Structure 1
Amino acid sequence: MTQKQYDESSFRVLKGLEPVRERPGMYTRTDSPTHIIQEVIDNAADEALAGFAKNIHVVLMRDGSVAVTDDGRGIPVGLHPQEGLPVVVLAYTVLHAGGKFDKKSGNSAYAFSGGLHGVGVAVTTALSTRVEVEVRRDGKIHQIVFADGGRSIGELQDIGSAGKHTGTRVRVWPDGRYFDSPKIPQAEIERLLRSKAVLLPGVKVMLDIEQADGSFARQEWRYTEGLAGYLREMVAGAEAVAPLFTGEAYAGADEDFAQGEGAAWSFGWFDGMQLNESYVNLIPTVAGGTHESGLRTGVFEAVKSFIEHHSLLPKGVKIQQDDVCGKMSFVLSARILDPQFQGQVKEKLNSREAVKLVSSMVLHPFEAWLNQNVEYGRAIAELAIKQAQSRLKNAQKVEKRKSSGVAVLPGKLSDCESEDIADNELYLVEGDSAGGSAKLARDRETQAILPLRGKVLNAWEVDPNRLFANAEIHDISVAIGVDPHALDAPDGVLSGLRYGKIIIMADADVDGSHIQTLLLTLFLRHFPRVVEAGHVFIAMPPLYRIDVPAQGKKRPARRFYALDDNELNAIRDRLIKEGFRVEQLEIGRFKGLGEMRSDQLKETAMDHATRRVLPVTLDDVSSARTLFDLLMGKGEASGRRAWMEAKGNLVEADL
């Protein structure tokens, strides 16, 4: 086989918008063009959020294009002082350029927005055949056209007088080559625009859809009651346990949070109906995040305090957060100065400070409301107590099945108190030292710890009948309540499962990765139905800790964690842009889980609100087993060598 030459000419530098066109999935959803249109709509909504736009108008054309118009300030068209290009050109053709940086220094054009790193509408340009931008500003109408994914940039033209009118109109023709379907789902756009109307009181949001005869069908949204009106509309017909609790609260100048940070909310409990929607700076967070965790924390603490104050809790019953919030419906809109999202599509908020922010804003107002409306408070409390009693009843059934077995749980297992399999988690932890830290950091109610000594046996080719000769594998099997089995085993093989999540937690280094691989090998070969059912997860503890000094009274000292060098560099670059010098940042590298304090381990790997845990999924069992045969089989040394020669350069390893 001819070897390809590997020299200086092998390196390729992606410039401009080429990285987006080369790997669109890293920047946007590729099932449809919805997200690249949403980027344009979000810019119009940010103008409304800042108080400058009163109307947002979207038109879906029959030719597949979409036009978005607002009456905000209009994007600047003058030359950038450093780059020497019109600002509108930078916004639509340059990655990491925008008007939403420098929020802490006060130099940003937007105090609160979903924009983080200036990637948004540049992605829209990169994945479109044509983008037309028309700006009304300074009494003139300016127009510019970007074609062929931003490769062709027209001249910025003055095409007429705007009088006193201002605003921006953007028309986009998505390039169908980059999407599974070039069609924009109308229902998604309607849902997005309706949410903007809900979150922007006083702003009129319109959608026109071009018909076959050339006419337009219009929909229009404006919610005078805001969040409460929207939630009532969505749960119409369901019987309410108590009236909605609606409110908002934002930080003042002398509080722990940045001025203006806070949340607006409306929530309640309804029979047979549940709706959960959340937003951050008007961006829909369909996968939830830390702001939702903060809302649930605040509501739970308020209801728990009410129950204790009125002595409502029956003997032997312990209230958990899910008992209170499991059937709660809510709409939440958080405002965060510098939000950190999971991925460019911003479906989940990761900002750790949002938990404390939202919970502190909700807790005291709701607690006061409950005590002022005791009848409604009792109704909510009774619902939560019924949920807790039902949970305990189910746990007793599980306990009977468990006590009838002959297996004795491992002595080193620190089991959890709850018997609710859906909530219970087992952490398989590398080493006794890390196991000790994990025991201190865990939630005793739902989290169990099983320390593992040394590296687990490579079980890929071990006979199932000889598997229990290894003490570590024996303890794992007994702890999870499942015997080794084949891939075609019946569903009943999981009947004794004791934990809904089995989480592998190893050091964030090469040895830790090896232990993860050995445990995944064990589960894939001998407990495949556990993996297939989605019960196996991998914790992602950090490799680095970054301590940031305080910035006056308004910004206390902060701490960040980084999984690897790339994330460390990204955090360091971000802090330097905020005005910190490198020597001000204290960066420490964890040698392992055992070195981490229990509070650090809890925050980064065990607390539901702030941890990073990845699910292990099986898309193609046959391909996975073929690869494990190659990599873990004892007789595959020559095959592994050939594989490493062919693909070893693709592996990222910390050597």
Structure 2
Amino acid sequence: MAQQQYDESSFRVLKGLEPVRERPGMYTRTDSPCHMIQEVIDNAADEALGGFAKNLHVLVLRDGSITVTDDGRGIPVGLHPEEKIPVVVLAYTALHAGGKFDKKSGNSAYAFSGGLHGVGVAVTTALSLRVEVEVRREGKIYEIAFANGGREIGQINEVGSCGKQTGTRVKVWPDGKYFDSPKVPMNELERLLRSKAVLLPGVRVYLEVEQADGSFTKQDWRYQEGLPGYLREITSGADAVVPIYAAEKYAGDDEDFAPGEGAAWAFGWFDGVQLGESYVNLIPTVAGGTHESGLRGGVFEAVKSFIEHHSLLPKGVKLQQEDVCGKMSYVLSARILDPQFQGQVKEKLNSREAVKLVSSMLLHPFEAWLNQNAEHGKAIAELAIKQAQSRLKDAQKIEKRKSSGVAVLPGKLADCESENIADNELYLVEGDSAGGSAKLARERETQAILPLRGKVQNSWEIDPNRLFANAEIHDVSVAIGVDPHTPQAADSVLANLRYGKVIIMADADVDGSHIQTLLLTLFLRHFPKLVEAGHVYIALPPLYRVDVPAQGKKRPARRLYALDDGELQSIRDRLAKEGFREDQLEIGRFKGLGEMQPAQLRETAMDRATRRVLPVTMDQDAVAETDKLFDLLMGKGEASGRRAWMELKGNLVEADL
């Protein structure tokens, strides 16, 4: 392979909106344009949150354009005092610019907003064919357009007068080449707009969608009652154990939090229903976060205090948070000065102080409500105590079955439905996040998932009698139905084997290779018959994803996967021969299995028709040599020998252990 040049010219600086166009997945979701449109909607909602807008209108046309209109103050069009560029231009073309940064000094245009990084609506411009902005402000109407992903910036034109009307209208044409699907999913857009109406009591939110025949469907939402009305709607049909408890509380000047920080909530317990939605500064946090932890913590402490005050807890029962909150349905809206989110798409709140903020705001009002409504408090207490007793009973069953010698399958094992051992497969996956993706991606009939917490212990020198002291090794042994044994054991040791294939599935990076090595060490040392009989496999999930645009009608868009840098370069070379330029390809690097969409994980590592899985075989003529090598690599007393071996041969070895 030709040696590549590496000098000063090898470095490239991405300017303006170019980083967004090069790596859109770092800034927004790329399954559809929904999130980039949400950035525009969030700006309008922030105006309503500040009390400046009463109406929010979204129009979806057949040409793929989406228009968002509000009757807020209208974005400023004058020159920025330092940058000497119109503020509306900065907002739509400059990363890390906006009216949401200078919060603590009191000069921010938005004290509470979902915007944090200042990249929101600029991302919309970068990934759009065209963006048109109309501003009604100070009695005048202004227009400006941005085209070709923000590369072309039009002039600000005054086009009329508007009297006392104010507001902003933004029309966006998303560029389909950046998304798996060029259309915004209507059900997701409807949920988003309905949630804005829920969180902004009294604000009317409209959605108009153009149909194939040119007519329009119209919907609008307005919740005067706010959160409790919404919770009642989404849990309709379920019997309430107690009435919905709804309240809100925000910090004053004399509290530990910034003035105005706090939360509004509505929650209750319903038969057979458990739903939860949360928001931060009107932004939906679909993956939850620290504010939800604060809600659960406050509810648990209040209920626990009520139970102790009324001496309701039976002897020997100890309450846990899940006993109280496990079947609770809730809607939570937190207001936080500087929210810290996980990633630009803001699906999960990471702000540590949000736990204390929400729990402290909720605790005393809910405690007062419980004591003022003792019959409702006792109903909640009875539900929690029953849940705790059921949990303790299950734990006792497991202990009893263990003591009688009957193996109990690990609770975190998602087992398959088939009883045909030859077809059944067990995937050993690192972590709950990757395990969750794998559970969604699997074929439930024949594929089981066992998530492992962290790296399995190095078992090369562990005494077989002490193996089960490690919970992860215990769970692996119980799940596969095989006890630890020696190479001399009879073949009957596999009589209770529950899966024809045991597949190690780890991330495609160095850490993942280490986990593979530790699991292979376990099987080779303590389950050698499993390896010898050909039941152990290694899945090869990809490290890179390459999105290839369509070439005319005959060549639709494709998605390719690469295991490593070498395979990625081969794909690049092949696509270059097909006529694709480098800037036409979108290349994403998977951080791990938990980052992969279930459909991607299924296609690359779990679907029998498309996955790449390697069998682990044992050469009977090289058993002694293999043991010697594992002694060197995994033995605790071989550190000096390992170092000498790595210095001598580390640059030559291509072992895939």
Paired positions, count: 503
Per the alignment, residue 519 of structure 2 pairs with 523
1:242 is aligned to 2:238: no
> 2:133 and 2:178 mapped to 1: Cα distance?
22
Amino acid at match of 2:31: D
How much does 1:239 deviate?
A: 0.5
Amino acid at match of 2:320: Q
Per the alignment, residue 328 of structure 2 pairs with 328
Three-state SS of the structure 2 residue aligned to 1:32 is coil
How much does 1:187 deviate?
A: 0.6
How much does 1:401 deviate?
A: 2.5
Q: 1:29 to 1:4 in 2, by over 3 A?
A: same
Per the alignment, residue 171 of structure 1 pairs with 171
How much does 1:72 deviate?
A: 0.4
Per the alignment, residue 370 of structure 1 pairs with 370
Structure 2's unaligned 5+ residue stretches are 414-429, 432-451, 483-493, 500-505, 524-529, 540-591, 606-610, 619-625, 634-645
> 1:616 and 1:487 mapped to 2: Cα distance?
31
Q: Residue 474 of structure 2: which of 477, 480, 492 is its match?
A: 480
Q: 1:530 to 1:53 in 2, by over 3 A?
A: farther
1:272-298 Cα shifts (integer Å, max 9, x gaps): 112200000000000000000000000
Per the alignment, residue 309 of structure 1 pairs with 309
1:488-519 Cα shifts (integer Å, max 9, x gaps): 9999769xxxxxxxx9xxxxxxxxx9888644
Three-state SS of the structure 2 residue aligned to 1:114 is coil
Q: 1:183 to 1:400 in 2, by over 3 A?
A: same
Three-state SS of the structure 2 residue aligned to 1:150 is coil
> 2:357 and 2:513 mapped to 1: Cα distance?
38
> 2:394 and 2:537 mapped to 1: Cα distance?
24
1:2 is aligned to 2:7: no
Per the alignment, residue 108 of structure 2 pairs with 108
Three-state SS of the structure 2 residue aligned to 1:83 is coil
Per the alignment, residue 434 of structure 2 pairs with none
The answer as to whether partners of 1:524 and 1:531 remain within 8 angstroms in 2 is no
1:170-224 Cα shifts (integer Å, max 9, x gaps): 0000000000000110011110000000110111100011122323221010001
- Greater shift in the superposed pair: 467-476 or 291-300: 467-476
1:456 is aligned to 2:494: no
The answer as to whether partners of 1:141 and 1:161 remain within 8 angstroms in 2 is yes
1:293 is aligned to 2:274: no
Amino acid at match of 1:522: L
The answer as to whether partners of 1:93 and 1:125 remain within 8 angstroms in 2 is yes
How much does 1:480 deviate?
A: 3.5
How much does 1:474 deviate?
A: 6.5
> 1:27 and 1:626 mapped to 2: Cα distance?
38
> 2:108 and 2:613 mapped to 1: Cα distance?
48
Per the alignment, residue 383 of structure 1 pairs with 383
Per the alignment, residue 445 of structure 2 pairs with none
> 2:406 and 2:372 mapped to 1: Cα distance?
54
Amino acid at match of 2:172: V
> 2:89 and 2:653 mapped to 1: Cα distance?
46
Amino acid at match of 1:89: V
Per the alignment, residue 199 of structure 2 pairs with 199
Per the alignment, residue 16 of structure 1 pairs with 16
Q: 1:369 to 1:485 in 2, by over 3 A?
A: closer
Q: 1:639 to 1:273 in 2, by over 3 A?
A: farther
Per the alignment, residue 220 of structure 2 pairs with 220
> 1:115 and 1:75 mapped to 2: Cα distance?
15
Amino acid at match of 2:105: S
1:412-460 Cα shifts (integer Å, max 9, x gaps): xxxxxxx9769xxxx99xxxxxxxxxxxxxxxxxxx99999xx936x6x
1:351-389 Cα shifts (integer Å, max 9, x gaps): 000000000111111111111111111111111111111
Three-state SS of the structure 1 residue aligned to 2:3 is coil
> 2:481 and 2:652 mapped to 1: Cα distance?
29
Q: TM-score, normalised by structure 2?
A: 0.69
> 2:650 and 2:211 mapped to 1: Cα distance?
59
Three-state SS of the structure 1 residue aligned to 2:477 is coil
> 1:87 and 1:490 mapped to 2: Cα distance?
73
Q: 1:478 to 1:84 in 2, by over 3 A?
A: closer
How much does 1:8 deviate?
A: 1.1
CA-atom RMSD, angstroms?
Answer: 4.0
How much does 1:639 deviate?
A: 11
In the TM superposition, 1:54-133 aligns within 5 A as: 54-133=54-133
> 2:258 and 2:520 mapped to 1: Cα distance?
48
Amino acid at match of 2:519: F
Q: 1:9 to 1:450 in 2, by over 3 A?
A: closer
How much does 1:400 deviate?
A: 1.7
> 1:490 and 1:210 mapped to 2: Cα distance?
63
How much does 1:402 deviate?
A: 2.2
Per the alignment, residue 623 of structure 2 pairs with none
Q: 1:532 to 1:35 in 2, by over 3 A?
A: farther
> 1:103 and 1:160 mapped to 2: Cα distance?
34
Q: 1:171 to 1:312 in 2, by over 3 A?
A: same
In the TM superposition, 1:225-624 aligns within 5 A as: 225-405=225-405, 456=458, 468=462, 475-476=469-470, 480-483=474-477, 518-519=514-515, 521-523=517-519, 526=522, 620=604
Q: 1:450 to 1:54 in 2, by over 3 A?
A: closer
Q: 1:38 to 1:288 in 2, by over 3 A?
A: same
Q: 1:159 to 1:400 in 2, by over 3 A?
A: same
Per the alignment, residue 444 of structure 2 pairs with none
Three-state SS of the structure 2 residue aligned to 1:482 is helix
Q: 1:390 to 1:118 in 2, by over 3 A?
A: same
The answer as to whether partners of 1:50 and 1:110 remain within 8 angstroms in 2 is yes
The answer as to whether partners of 1:135 and 1:167 remain within 8 angstroms in 2 is yes
1:64-113 Cα shifts (integer Å, max 9, x gaps): 11000000000111111111111111110110010000111111100100
Structure 1's unaligned 5+ residue stretches are 408-418, 429-447, 460-466, 495-502, 504-512, 534-612, 645-655
The answer as to whether partners of 1:302 and 1:363 remain within 8 angstroms in 2 is yes
Identity %: 69
The answer as to whether partners of 2:36 and 2:123 remain within 8 angstroms in 1 is yes
Per the alignment, residue 33 of structure 1 pairs with 33
- Greater shift in the superposed pair: 148-157 or 522-531: 522-531
The answer as to whether partners of 1:486 and 1:526 remain within 8 angstroms in 2 is no
> 2:377 and 2:614 mapped to 1: Cα distance?
55
Q: 1:485 to 1:311 in 2, by over 3 A?
A: closer
Three-state SS of the structure 2 residue aligned to 1:143 is strand
- Greater shift in the superposed pair: 483-492 or 232-241: 483-492
> 1:639 and 1:187 mapped to 2: Cα distance?
58
Amino acid at match of 1:521: T
Amino acid at match of 1:236: S
Q: 1:168 to 1:236 in 2, by over 3 A?
A: same
The answer as to whether partners of 2:453 and 2:472 remain within 8 angstroms in 1 is no
1:26-60 Cα shifts (integer Å, max 9, x gaps): 00000000000000000000000011001000001
Per the alignment, residue 184 of structure 1 pairs with 184
Q: 1:133 to 1:387 in 2, by over 3 A?
A: same
How much does 1:7 deviate?
A: 1.1
The answer as to whether partners of 1:482 and 1:493 remain within 8 angstroms in 2 is no
Q: 1:469 to 1:347 in 2, by over 3 A?
A: same
The answer as to whether partners of 1:391 and 1:420 remain within 8 angstroms in 2 is no
Three-state SS of the structure 1 residue aligned to 2:149 is helix
1:274-323 Cα shifts (integer Å, max 9, x gaps): 22000000000000000000000000011111111111111111111001
Q: 1:39 to 1:363 in 2, by over 3 A?
A: same
Amino acid at match of 1:30: T
The answer as to whether partners of 2:60 and 2:210 remain within 8 angstroms in 1 is yes
Q: 1:123 to 1:230 in 2, by over 3 A?
A: same
> 1:168 and 1:387 mapped to 2: Cα distance?
51
Amino acid at match of 2:42: D
